[in-house]
Amino acid sequence: MELRELGDTGIRVSPLGLGTVKFGRNQQVKYPSSFEIPDDDAVVHILEVARALGINLLDTAPAYGVAQQRLGKLLPGRREDWVIVSKVGEIFDQGHSRFDFSHAHTLASVEQSLRELNTDYLDCVLIHSDGNDLRILEQEGALDALRELKEKGLIRAHGMSSKTVPGGLKVVEEMDVVMATANLEYDEERPVLEAAKRKNKGVLVKKGLMSGHVQGKEGVRASMAHVFSLPGVSSMIIGTINEQHLRQNAAVAGALT
């Protein structure tokens, strides 16, 4: 797969990114069937397959259970071969999510992620929105904290995994990267993607396969063709621990991009 520019960040990402929630959490997730968290050997194998397929983008978060700790311990190859996107704001504890978008928590969360991921920088950190995008951006301290961390060189880019059109448009104005939802059944955030393309901001697409509810090769192909036809898309995140699915998805993405 040919790498794409992530907006004007200077970061180049594979058109398919690997989501890692299944590396560390199987509670309160929206996949169509239950799954067991893979052991270390299985995680290493999936990461090695991803790397061999040309995937360099890993999407993770503190809210993904022990996913970050496992990546920090198991990530194959050189750190600079990977683009690691993490998040701040959501805390998953004892089966439930809670949120903290304060300045202090944002700083502490990124510091913890750096330790867990065993790295001295993160390529991108996204605010993990609870749905109140504008309130978070305008009234909480997370945005200022991420700006400070970028100035210090601890993160290369910042953004938000947003949930509303007004919030996504604000992200495009104020930040480097927006993670938006887009798939065959949901097109409401297209104005965000169009704005990001005009401003040359990075766009990551979540739920492109509707959290695993798209089934079959033709369904996957149609879904990916739709996502990659949208304006400004840098990469589409898929979360899988199934090698066959990963290979199939990579083949489709490679043919479309």
> Catalytic residues, which ones?
64
* Contact status, residue 241 vs residue 22, Cβ threshold 8 Å: yes
Reference 68, options 78, 57, 60; nearest CA is 60
Q: Let me know if 143 is exposed, middle or buried by CB neighbors in 10 A (0-12, 13-18, 19+).
A: buried
Total Cβ atoms within 10 A of residue 31: 14
What span, in angstroms and rounded, lies between the C-alpha atoms of 29 and 216? 21
The CA-CA-CA angle for residues 124, 127, 133, to 5°, reads 140
Sequence-distant (≥ 6) Cβ neighbours of residue 212 within 8 angstroms: 31, 32, 33, 239
Q: CA separation (Å) from 146 to 18, 79, 98, 164?
A: 23, 22, 20, 20
